Amino acid sequence: MAAETVALDKPVPAFSLPSTGTGTWANKDAAGSKLVLYFYPRDNTPGCTQEGKDFAAAAAAFRKAGAVILGISADSLESHEKFKAKMQFPFELLADTEQKACKLFDVFKEKSLYGRKFMGIERSTFLVDEKGVMRKEWRKVKVPGHVAEVLAATKAL
């Protein structure tokens, strides 16, 4: 049996993960709001820090568009708490240490760095509507300009 994964224009299957600030977050908690889920490789790395800063800078505009932003990586909750506090992110980070959501969203991929192959999170963002249906996905994200593109799609939803 193939593992369940998300698909465009289909409801996102139920999942929950440990969250900064709130203890545990489940996607049912976002019912009635648009949801921006951004998966990133690691806390405190240059690209991930910049992506988080970009989402933080646009957080008020996302709120105005009726959207909740959540960052997800395989780092521990303790690491997320420190990263969130250091960067003063106005949104929660979810700890997917067992890669449950990573597998659900199919973002755990073979990567290559300096010729070494390893498994890791491919930077990806997903936009879910108020009814829990995935409406847009961005895979293999390049950080510059990405948040503006996600915000435009969120406003258009």
Active site positions, annotated: 48
CA 77 to chain centre: 15
Could you tell me which residues come within 8 angstroms of residue 32 by beta carbon, excluding any fewer than 6 positions away? 130
Dihedral angle over CA of 130, 63, 81, 95, nearest 10: 20
What is the DSSP code string of 5-50?
---TTSBPPP-EEEETTTEEEEGGGGTTSEEEEEE-S-TTSHHHHH
What secondary structure letter does DSSP report for 89? -
Q: How far apart are CA 16 and CA 147, in angstroms?
A: 24
Measured CA to CA in angstroms, residue 19 lies from 16, 82, 109, 120 at distances of 9, 13, 23, 20
